């Protein structure tokens, strides 16, 4: 074990509806969908038409900027429809599974002897490349780059986040194999961050640089961990992979087939039985929500990801490409009389001391999507710094993004952050500013102007 990281700033939201450690295997759903918006800054180019049959692992679309990066079908079946939005933007590629085992195979025997380029080629051809993302920007990694290091975070701190030790308990060998594959892609370290108080099986993983992490959210964000161990400098690239995608890569190099395994945890106060499910990327969420006893008496919101930085979907929606979490919380579209008075409505969780909710420390809170106020000018200072553990001035960076001052964004550290690092800032903001959205637009500007 190398250096440990302790994070002192931040906050864990103690919410109702954490997943019980039960892994349920439901019959696979019929429909699946791939949503190009899951991939930041991607322009997809379709290779399939409506009505076409595809095998599992066959390409559906590729990246316009880099045609080597393809996106594969998670199941065998038929492309039933391609949903388009304004300006013919592709919103969803829908596939109806035919429950066959037709699958595209790749030659992967004795991968230990392959070099970096050969490994990349297999990852690209199989459609597994999108599992690897890069920092800065959180876009899909460029296969031409060779990263300074690779980071995998198994320390999950987002509200109601999964327990990777439990989630991957059946995939220990695949995880180890995935690590060995990733090791070939970098001249630097493959860093595996683990909970420094509970290590689980990850401690026994070989060929990695283990980093123990402790502290409140956003300590689990891989960006925070990179910042604390080896911050990104101008022009450098660091690659990040989610733990279950390490497993998917491991499975690819043992079976030769694209693996789209995605264990989903349905969590939140709107489900009675929050638990884990064996599922697949892009799976229709309905059966999983039903199996969790969704409480649909009042309006609810289904979120792909955690409640701070996930993306909104619906009960008829589909699992995202990257997220293990499906959060379901009640909509907050109701009024609260005199709810703005300090020290009233203490059931609404708050990390500000203008509420007495901190007195209920260990009690789990139920949150809704109510904004709890209205958007206002930026008045209060110092609240962002309390939940932002990086050596970066968050408010100054947000302001630089707002005025699109590229030089200043660069100087203030835009390369070291991604929107999810600002999730708690969104949450804690007195003025209800949309920090994640501002940072996202700032990063889009950086990609356009600097690249």
- In angstroms, what is the minimal distance from the CB of 289 to other proteins? 17
- In angstroms, what is the minimal distance from the CB of 320 to other proteins? 14
Query: Nearer Cβ to other proteins, position 135 or 262?
Result: 135
Query: Nearer Cβ to other proteins, position 45 or 334?
Result: 334
Query: Nearer Cβ to other proteins, position 21 or 376?
Result: 376
360: which DSSP letter? Answer: G
CB distance 450 to 139 below 8 Å:
no
Angle between helical axes of 435-449 and 394-402 (0-180°, round to 10): 60
Which of 292, 273, 281, 302 shows the shortest CA–CA distance to 28? 281
- In angstroms, what is the minimal distance from the CB of 272 to other proteins? 20
Query: Nearer Cβ to other proteins, position 57 or 423?
Result: 423
- In angstroms, what is the minimal distance from the CB of 57 to other proteins? 29
Pairing of strands 149-153, 190-195: parallel
Supply the DSSP string of 402-425, one letter for each residue: HTT-HHHHHHHTGGG--GGGGHHH
Other CB atoms within a 10 A radius of the CB of residue 198 amount to 11
The CA-based angle 186-189-194, given to 5 degrees, is 130
For the CA atoms of 174, 175, 178, 183, the dihedral, rounded to the nearest 10 degrees, stands at -140
Cis before 218? omega within 30 = yes
Query: Nearer Cβ to other proteins, position 50 or 298?
Result: 298
The backbone region for 99, taken as left when phi is positive above 0, alpha when psi lies in -120 to 50, beta otherwise, is left
DSSP-based three-state secondary structure for 359: helix
- Give the span between the Cα atoms of 300 and 18, in whole angstroms: 17
- In angstroms, what is the minimal distance from the CB of 206 to other proteins? 23
Query: Nearer Cβ to other proteins, position 121 or 145?
Result: 145
Query: Nearer Cβ to other proteins, position 189 or 245?
Result: 189
- In angstroms, what is the minimal distance from the CB of 102 to other proteins? 38
Supply the DSSP string of 236-296, one letter for each residue: --EEEE-HHHHHHHHHHHHHSB---EEEEEEESTTBSS-EEEEEETTBBSHHHHHHTTB--
Query: Nearer Cβ to other proteins, position 196 or 369?
Result: 369
Query: Nearer Cβ to other proteins, position 43 or 311?
Result: 311
- In angstroms, what is the minimal distance from the CB of 122 to other proteins? 21
- In angstroms, what is the minimal distance from the CB of 378 to other proteins? 5
Q: CA 424 from chain center: how many Å?
A: 15
- In angstroms, what is the minimal distance from the CB of 375 to other proteins? 8
Other CB atoms within a 10 A radius of the CB of residue 163 amount to 18
DSSP-based three-state secondary structure for 435: helix
Query: Nearer Cβ to other proteins, position 254 or 430?
Result: 430
The values of phi and psi at residue 21, to 5°, are: -85, 70
Sign (positive/negative) of CA torsion 420, 392, 240, 220? negative
Q: How far is CA 206 from each of CA 178, 183, 201, 383, rounded to the nearest angstrom?
A: 11, 11, 11, 41
Query: Nearer Cβ to other proteins, position 309 or 323?
Result: 309
- In angstroms, what is the minimal distance from the CB of 204 to other proteins? 29
The CA-based angle 119-94-139, given to 5 degrees, is 45
- In angstroms, what is the minimal distance from the CB of 168 to other proteins? 26
Query: Nearer Cβ to other proteins, position 112 or 144?
Result: 144
- In angstroms, what is the minimal distance from the CB of 170 to other proteins? 31
Place of tokens 């949903």: 83
């Amino acid at each position: 074990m190398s250096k440990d990281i302790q994070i002192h700033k931040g906050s864990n939201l103690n919410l109702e509806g954490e997943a019980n450690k039960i892994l349920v295997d439901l019959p696979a759903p019929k429909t699946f969908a791939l949503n190009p918006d899951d991939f930041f800054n991607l322009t997809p180019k379709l290779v399939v038409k409506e009505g076409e049959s595809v095998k599992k692992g066959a390409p559906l679309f590729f990246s316009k900027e880099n045609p080597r990066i393809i996106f594969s079908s998670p199941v065998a079946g038929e492309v039933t429809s391609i949903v388009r939005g304004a300006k013919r933007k592709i919103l969803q590629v829908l596939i109806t599974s035919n429950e066959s085992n037709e699958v595209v195979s790749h030659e992967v025997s004795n991968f230990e002897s392959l070099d970096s380029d050969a490994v990349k080629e297999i990852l690209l051809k199989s459609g597994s490349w999108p599992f690897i993302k890069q920092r800065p920007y959180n876009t899909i990694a460029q296969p031409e780059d060779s990263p300074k290091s690779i980071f995998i975070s198994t320390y999950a701190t987002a509200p109601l986040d999964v327990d990777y030790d439990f989630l991957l308990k059946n995939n220990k060998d695949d995880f180890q194999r995935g690590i060995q594959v990733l090791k070939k892609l970098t001249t630097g370290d493959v860093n595996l961050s683990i909970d420094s108080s509970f290590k689980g099986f990850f401690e026994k993983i070989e060929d990695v640089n283990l980093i123990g992490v402790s502290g409140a959210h956003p300590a689990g964000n891989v960006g925070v961990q990179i910042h604390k161990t080896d911050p990104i400098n101008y022009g450098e690239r660091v690659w990040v992979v989610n733990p279950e995608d390490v497993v998917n890569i491991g499975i690819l190099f043992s079976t030769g087939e694209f693996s789209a395994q995605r264990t989903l945890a349905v969590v939140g106060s709107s489900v009675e039985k929050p638990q884990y499910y064996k599922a697949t990327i892009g799976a229709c969420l309905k059966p999983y929500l039903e199996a969790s006893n969704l409480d649909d008496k009042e309006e609810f919101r289904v979120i792909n990801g955690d409640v701070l930085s996930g993306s909104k979907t619906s009960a008829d929606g589909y699992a995202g490409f990257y997220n293990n979490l499906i959060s379901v919380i009640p909509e907050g579209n109701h009024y609260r009389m005199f709810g703005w008075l300090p020290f009233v409505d203490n059931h609404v969780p708050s990390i500000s001391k203008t509420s007495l909710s901190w007195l209920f420390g260990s009690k789990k809170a139920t949150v809704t999507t109510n904004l709890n106020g209205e958007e206002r000018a930026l008045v209060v200072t110092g609240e962002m710094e309390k939940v932002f553990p990086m050596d970066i001035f968050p408010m100054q960076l947000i302001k630089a993004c707002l005025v699109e001052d590229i030089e200043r964004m660069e100087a203030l550290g835009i390369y070291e952050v991604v929107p999810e690092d600002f999730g708690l800032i969104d949450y804690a903001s007195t003025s209800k500013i949309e920090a994640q959205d501002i940072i996202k637009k700032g990063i889009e500007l950086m990609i356009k102007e600097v690249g």
